[in-house]
Amino acid sequence: MGEVFLATDTRLGRAVAIKTTREQFTPDSSARRELSSALNHPHICTLYDVGPDYLVMEYVEGETIQNRIKKGALPLPLTLTYGIQIANALCEAHSKGITHRDLKPGNVMIAKNGVKVLDFGLAKFAAADETLTQAGVQVGTPLYMAPEQRDGRTADARTDIHALGLLRYEMATCKRALQGQPIQLQELPERFAHIVERCLAQEPEDRWQTARDLSAELAWATKRRSGSAPSEGLAACPSAVDCGSRGRRGGRRSHRGLGWEQ
């Protein structure tokens, strides 16, 4: 989708990440401002500004899940922990009427205090049915698209839940689920396999209907596994809702990974 540059916000003296995009965002400045200010959550990368072909966002140190799973599958407790954190981030976004639509391993960063969901630049506002990318362009990454995305149907919160199911399967097994092929769930614990399977239902009506429901199920599975309640920050999403920077080009990194290219 583009390149990411480390930059300095000269007004506040802070490091930021600037992501350039090949797509042009819609010219509606009110939508850009709304997206910049709508999301404030510990597991969402803060978006400071949106330009016609760039995003200015919080600089997060760490590695993406995509890079982490190159080293092997994550332990199940860690998969559950990250799953809860991502579900809670989605719960916050969905409560504001925002669907991510491009959730994948390269868009989740493992930081010091847990994960951060990146790249809400493709987000869709449910209330106004307004997207930040040009109309008529298929949005998302094909490997992580839900059936309704591939068919050009409306994407909603359940589209993100499908992507989270794919992401959690990949974290736990170090394998990608391929379109049109059944995934191998027998190697996973039964309860975890059930959660993943329901996320990946072909029809949105058969999936978990809200990120809050999914977060609660993951928290329950974590409690059953550990024999105690999830630690602070890992509890189910509490929401009852259905759920000017100038860049200084330094090292360059791919949007898919973390390593800075010289």
pLDDT in tens, 237-246: 654 344 533 3
More reliable by pLDDT, 48 or 120: 48
More reliable by pLDDT, 181 or 259: 181
Of 9, 102, 119, 160, which residue is the catalytic one?
Answer: 102
CATH of 63-242, one of 1.10.3720.10, 3.40.640.10, 1.10.510.10, 3.10.110.10: 1.10.510.10
Among 246, 220, 207, CA closest to 80: 220
Most confident of 78-92, 111-125, 224-238: 78-92
More reliable by pLDDT, 35 or 52: 52
C-alpha–C-alpha distance, residues 164 and 159, integer Å: 9
C-alpha–C-alpha distance, residues 119 and 212, integer Å: 21
Residue 196, Cα to own-chain centre: how many angstroms? 16
Cα 31 to Cα 34, 89, 107, 207: the distances in Å are 5, 20, 22, 29
Question: Can you read off the two tokens belonging to residue 147?
Answer: 């059936």
Question: Which of 34-38, 49-53, 219-223, 241-245 is predicted least confidently?
Answer: 241-245
Long-range contacts of 198-203 (CB under 8 A, 24+ apart): 198/165, 199/161, 199/162, 199/164, 199/165, 199/166, 199/168, 200/162, 200/165, 200/166, 200/169, 201/162, 202/147, 203/147
What's the whole-number mean pLDDT along residues 195-201? 94
Across the chain, what does the average pLDDT equal?
A: 79
CB 4 within 8 A of CB 119: no
pLDDT digits (tens, 9 = 90+) for 85-96: 999 999 999 998
Question: Can you read off the two tokens belonging to residue 112?
Answer: 């010091």
In which band, very low, low, confident or very high, does the pLDDT at 26 lie, cut at 50, 70 and 90? low
pLDDT at residue 82 in the model: 96
Question: Which of 8-12, 18-22, 55-59 is predicted least confidently?
Answer: 18-22
For this structure, is 119 an active site residue? no
E strands present in 40-173: 47-50, 54-58, 63-64, 98-99, 108-111, 114-117, 124-125, 130-131
- Percentage, residues of the chain above pLDDT 70: 71
Task: Judge whether residue 24 has pLDDT over 90.
Answer: no
**0.85 cut: is pTM over it?**
no
Task: Judge whether residue 49 has pLDDT over 60.
Answer: yes
C-alpha–C-alpha distance, residues 106 and 70, integer Å: 12
What's the whole-number mean pLDDT along residues 134-148? 72
Amino acid identity, position 56: V
